[in-house]
Amino acid sequence: MNQFSDKQLYQLCKKYGTNALMWRRKFTGLLPEVNRRRLYEKRGFSSIFEFAKKLCGLSEKQVRLALNLNERFKDKPALKGLLTSGEVSVNKLTRVTSVATPEDEEFWAEKVQQLSKSALETFVKDVKNENQNGLYKPQIEVKSLPGQTLNLDSDVEEELLELQGKGVDVNELLREFLEKRRQEIAQEKEELVAEMGVVPAKSRYIPVKIRRHLQKEHGDMCTIAGCRKSAREIHHTQRFALASNHNPKYLAPVCREHHAIAHAIDVKVQAKKHL
């Protein structure tokens, strides 16, 4: 082992770990059938839990999860297939039990394979909230942030209070300011479109100018309504492969999870993945 570089040692760990997880999933997938046949009894184990612990080091919780899922997937053959073949882990399959129905289980079977665990979790949450915007057309949206209060600096607050005391309509003042900001951003957007939006982009990399504009408009958070994660990636709401430009009107800063979801929903986009 000493002759390995850090990189080699890490690669070996990853390889062994990946294989170990795969075999563990496959073993877990066999448990419903083992249970049905009571095979553990025939082989002298006191319970299926002992059987799974001794043969594969599975916890009781994992075994229960697998058997429960098998029950819940009785009328969902696609999901059940992923469980018993060991293609998808029980931890991931569990995420969709609250939403999958016999009618749409094939859709979910596809999604559990496409999405990471955290993206899947976000997706299921969105579906439950019926967040249509988040699901079917990720678009630039005004977000409402319920329960948040304004964090005004004391000097700003003082000046506003003073104006209010003098009988100035402070709300009107702020409305004017916000309207001016909207106009400024809209104008900047038009200028950017004129400058670079219509010309086919040479690369998928989004120019700094456009990134800055998007940040000015949307701040740092994911633009999917209701999402509170920070925006780490930029999604082309029109397929880059078709439009081939970085028109800021069709760019949406999103979190990693919503970006994965946006692509998983549009299968055609997925075939031509971009970031």
Of 185, 240, 239, nearest to 215 by C-alpha is 185
Q: Among 88, 119, 222, 251, which residue sits at the site for Zn ion (rule: CB under 5 A)?
A: 222
Region from 15-23, 64-72, 147-155, 216-224 binding Zn ion, contact rule CB under 5 A: 216-224
Closest to Zn ion by CB, 15 or 204: 204
Binding to Zn ion by residue 224, rule CB under 5 A?
yes
Taking the complex as a whole, the smallest distance from the CB of residue 191 to Zn ion amounts, in Å, to: 24
Nearer to Zn ion (CB atom), residue 25 or residue 213: 213
218 is a site residue for Zn ion (CB under 5 A): no
Number of Cβ within 10 Å of residue 29's Cβ equals 22
Give the span between the Cα atoms of 10 and 13, in whole angstroms.
Answer: 5
User: Is residue 258 within the footprint of Zn ion (CB under 5 A)?
Assistant: yes
235 makes contact with Zn ion (CB under 5 A): yes
Q: What are the residue ranges of helices labelled H in the chain?
A: 6-37, 39-42, 48-56, 60-72, 77-84, 90-96, 105-114, 117-128, 132-135, 154-165, 170-192, 208-218, 240-243, 256-265, 267-271
Binding of residue 246 to Zn ion (CB under 5 A): no
Please identify, using beta-carbon distances, which residue of 73 and 123 lies nearer to Zn ion. Answer: 123
Residue 74 CB: number of other CB atoms within 10 A? 9
**What is the longest distance spanned by two Cα atoms in the chain?**
89
Q: Which span (8-16, 136-144, 209-217, 226-234) binds Zn ion, by CB under 5 A?
A: 226-234
From the list 140-148, 172-180, 191-199, 222-230, the region that binds Zn ion by CB under 5 A is 222-230
Which range of residues in 148-156, 181-189, 217-225, 245-253 is near Zn ion by CB under 5 A?
Answer: 217-225
* Contact between 255 and Zn ion per CB under 5 A: yes
- 75 to each of 86, 101, 102, 105, 140, how far by Cα in Å? 18, 8, 6, 9, 38
Residues that bind Zn ion (CB under 5 A): 222, 224, 227, 229, 235, 255, 258
